[in-house]
Amino acid sequence: MKLKALLLVLAAAGALPLAAQADIGNGNGNGNGNGKALYSKDCMSCHRSIAGGDGSSLFTRPNRHVTSLGGLDKQVKRCRANTGLSLSDNQLKDIVDYLNATYYKFAK
Ligand code: HEC
């Protein structure tokens, strides 16, 4: 009984990284959980006030500023710094993954 439970836990742990990668690829932002939720909570309302709609046209407009994955990373850090948001680097990474998978689609 105990051994069976242990095996189940190990199997789940082994499966997790794969599931996380698939999620990032799907663009649903929940690789390690919550890029989409973090973005919606901390970032979206300001972009909405700049760009209208849900604000995402900032990411899809023809003259958007971000032109590479590295650039996306830098811009997200810039927005964090400018706005004094207390997001950890891991949380920022989740947000970058979400924005890239959903809007920018740069090759990794
Ligand atoms: C207080 C306002 C504000 C907040 C909050 C904010 N941003 Fe921004 N963001 C801006 C402005 C202003 C721009 C630049 C728009 C422009 O140049 O037309 C921008 C641009 C961007 C861009 C680049 C769009 C492009 O042109 O490719 C990204 C990516 C971005 N923000 C991500 C984020 C993320 C992620 C967060 C939350 C951690 C965030 N922003 C929070 C104001 C904000």
Whether 66 lines ligand 1, by a CB cut-off of 6 Å, is: yes
User: 28-38, pLDDT tens digit by residue?
Assistant: 444 555 899 99
39 lies in which domain range?
33-104
In a domain, 26, yes or no: no
Answer whether 58's CB lies under 8 Å from 104's CB: no
Whether 73 lines ligand 1, by a CB cut-off of 6 Å, is: no
Q: How confident is the model at residue 108 (pLDDT cuts 50, 70, 90)?
A: confident
In a domain, 68, yes or no: yes
State how many domains the chain has. Answer: 1
In a domain, 49, yes or no: yes
User: 51-96, pLDDT tens digit by residue?
Assistant: 999 999 999 999 999 999 999 999 999 999 999 998 988 899 999 9
Whether 81 lines ligand 1, by a CB cut-off of 6 Å, is: no
Q: What is d(CA 35, CA 33) in angstroms, rounded to the nearest whole number?
A: 7
In a domain, 28, yes or no: no
Closest C-alpha to 96, from 50, 52, 51, 31 = 31
In a domain, 23, yes or no: no
pLDDT at residue 2, rounded to an integer: 52
In a domain, 69, yes or no: yes
**Sign (positive or negative) of CA dihedral 18, 22, 106, 84:** negative
